[in-house]
Amino acid sequence: MSDSPHIPVLLAETMAALRLGPGDIYVDATLGAGGYLRAARAQGIARAIGFDRDPRAILLNADLAALDDVTLIARPFSEMEAGLADIGLTEVSAIAFDIGVSSMQIDTPERGFSFQSDGPLDMRMSDSGMTAADFINSASEGEIADVLFQLGDEPGARRIARAIVHDRPLTRTSELARLVRSVLGHQPGGKDAATRSFQALRIHVNDELGQLDAGLEAAERLLVPGGRLAVVTFHSAEDRAVKTFLRDRAGAAPGGSRHMPVAARPRSPSFERPARAVRASDAEVARNPRARSATLRAAVRTSAPAWSASHPQPSVRSA
C-alpha cells in the first residue's frame, strides 16, 4: 500500500448527513484509509463496522481493528448483509459509501490503476478475479469498445478498441497509455488522453456499478426506520445510479426505471425524499483536487418494507 495520504472527501458534510450519536451502529461500506470510520467514532457511537474488499485496507487499519467497538470485514459491500449476519447484526443506524478507487490504490504502481507510473495492467480492488489485461487481451473489439464508451464516455472508443486488438497482448499500464495516446493524440498540460479508458476498464473489471446497485439494496434492507444513508460518488454513471435509486425509493420516479418497472404496483416509499445533492466547496477542491468530481447524496429510511427482497449471498466472495 502506498504511503500517499488519502484525504476523506466531503467528510464534514457526510457526517452531518449521517447525524451519528450515542447508541448508533454505523457501517462504513468502503473503509479505505478509515477516514469516515474514525470521524464516526468521534461522534460517540456504540459500534462501527468497516467493509472493504481490498485486504490491504484491512491491514492498513489494524489500529482500528484492535478496538473493542470496531469490527473490520474483508468483503465487498455487496455482501454487507452476510458479513453483518456473521457478527450477529441484522439492522444498523447509518451507512456510508465512498464509491470508487482510493488514493492509496491509485498511487501504488503495482496495482495498475494509474498510467502515471508503469505497472502491471491489473486494476483489481481485490486479489482475485479478472484483471484489466485479461479483459483487453481476450474480449472482442466490440466488447472493448462498448466498455470504453459506456463506462468512460470515450468518443474514440472504437478506434482505441481496434488498436488494442491489433497490438495485443498488452500487459503494462505504460503500454496501454501509449497506445491510447497514439490513437487520440496527446496534448501535454491538458487532461491525459488515457484517463477515460483507464477509468472505464477499472469500473468494468471491478463491476463497480453492479456492486453499487447491490450495496444500495442491502443498505435499504439493513437500515432501521430513521436510519441514514450517505453516498459519495465520483463518476456520472455512479451518481446517476444513486440518484435514481433514492428518487424511486422515495416514490418520486416520473416513470419506470430499472429499480421500479412501469407495471409494478406502487409501493410505500422506503426512503424519505433525498436531500439536495452536495458538492465540494472551492476551498476543499483547493486542498484536495480529488474532491472536484465528488457528489454526496443522502436520505433517511422510512418504516416501510424494503422494496428489494433479501437474497442469498454468494458462497465465493466476489472479486
Residue 10: pLDDT above 70? yes
Q: Would you state the pLDDT for residue 41?
A: 97
Q: What would the pLDDT profile of 66-114 be if each residue is shown by its tens digit?
A: 999 999 999 999 999 999 999 999 999 999 999 976 555 565 656 766 7
Q: How many angstroms separate the CA atoms of 106 and 178, rounded?
A: 18
Phi, psi dihedral angles at 25 (to 5 degrees): -110, 120
pLDDT in tens, 45-70: 999 999 999 888 899 999 999 999 99
Cell of 28: 462504513
Q: What is the pTM of this model?
A: 0.87
What is the per-residue pLDDT across 214-247, written as a single tens digit (0 to 9) for each? 999 999 999 999 999 999 999 888 999 999 999 9
Set of cell numbers at residue 251: 416514490
Q: So what's the pLDDT on residue 314?
A: 43
Cell of 11: 467528510
Radius of gyration over alpha carbons of the chain, in Å?
20
Q: Domains in the chain, please, with CATH? A: 11-103+208-300 (3.40.50.150), 127-205 (1.10.150.170)
Say if residues 24 and 45 touch (Cβ distance below 8 Å). yes
Identify the pLDDT of residue 201: 96
Cell of 144: 472493448
C-alpha cell, 61? 487499519
Please report where in the chains the cell 507510473 appears, as a residue.
117
pLDDT score of 319 more than 50: no
Top pLDDT among 161 and 258 is at 161
Is residue 158 a contact partner of residue 184, using CB atoms and an 8 Å limit?
A: no
Q: Which residues contact 82 (CB under 8 A, 6 or more apart)?
A: 75, 313
